[in-house]
C-alpha cells in the first residue's frame, strides 16, 4: 500500500509544481487576445507546467489503484496548502491569518481522511 501513497504524494507535488510553472508562464508582458494566449502557451514555463500536470495525473491514476477515491481526491486539497505557501514565498502574494486558518482546517480534514483509510 505504501507505493500507492508515495504515488499520491508525488502526484500532489508535481501538480503543485505545475501550478507554479503556469503562474510563471502567465507573467506580464503578453499581448492580448489569441496572440497573447499563443505566446503564453508557447512559453517554456507553461509547457513544462503542462508536463508536470500530465506526470501528476499518471501518478494519481497509479494511486487510485489501491487508495479509495473518497480519500485520494480530498488529499488533493493539500495542493492548496503547498501552492498558497509557494505563492507567498515566490510571488509575494498576500497571506492573511484567515487563509492560514482555512489551510489548517484543510490539513486537519485530510489527515483525518488519511487515517480513516488505514486498515484496522
Asked whether the predicted pLDDT for residue 16 surpasses 90, the reply is yes
Asked whether the predicted pLDDT for residue 53 surpasses 90, the reply is yes
Asked whether the predicted pLDDT for residue 9 surpasses 90, the reply is yes
78 HSE (CA, 13 A, CB side): 20
Q: What is the pLDDT of residues 59-80, one digit of tens each?
A: 999 999 999 888 888 888 888 8
Residue 119 has a pLDDT of: 61
Asked whether the predicted pLDDT for residue 56 surpasses 90, the reply is yes
Asked whether the predicted pLDDT for residue 27 surpasses 80, the reply is no
Residue whose C-alpha is closest to residue 82's, from 113, 53, 107: 107
Mean per-residue pLDDT of the chain: 87
* Average pLDDT estimate for 35-55: 90
Residue 120 has a pLDDT of: 53
Distances in whole angstroms, Cα of residue 91 to Cα of each of 25, 32, 94, 95: 13, 22, 9, 11
Amino acid at each position: 500500500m505504501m507505493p500507492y501513497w508515495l504515488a499520491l504524494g508525488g502526484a500532489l507535488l508535481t501538480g503543485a509544481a505545475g501550478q507554479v510553472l503556469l503562474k510563471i508562464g502567465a507573467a506580464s508582458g503578453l499581448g492580448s487576445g489569441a496572440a497573447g494566449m499563443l505566446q503564453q502557451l508557447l512559453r517554456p514555463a507553461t509547457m513544462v507546467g503542462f508536463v508536470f500536470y500530465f506526470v501528476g495525473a499518471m501518478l494519481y491514476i497509479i494511486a487510485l489503484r489501491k487508495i479509495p477515491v473518497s480519500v485520494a481526491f480530498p488529499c488533493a486539497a493539500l495542493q492548496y496548502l503547498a501552492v498558497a505557501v509557494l505563492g507567498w514565498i515566490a510571488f509575494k502574494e498576500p497571506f492573511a491569518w484567515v487563509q492560514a486558518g482555512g489551510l489548517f482546517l484543510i490539513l486537519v480534514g485530510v489527515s483525518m481522511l488519511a487515517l480513516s483509510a488505514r486498515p484496522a
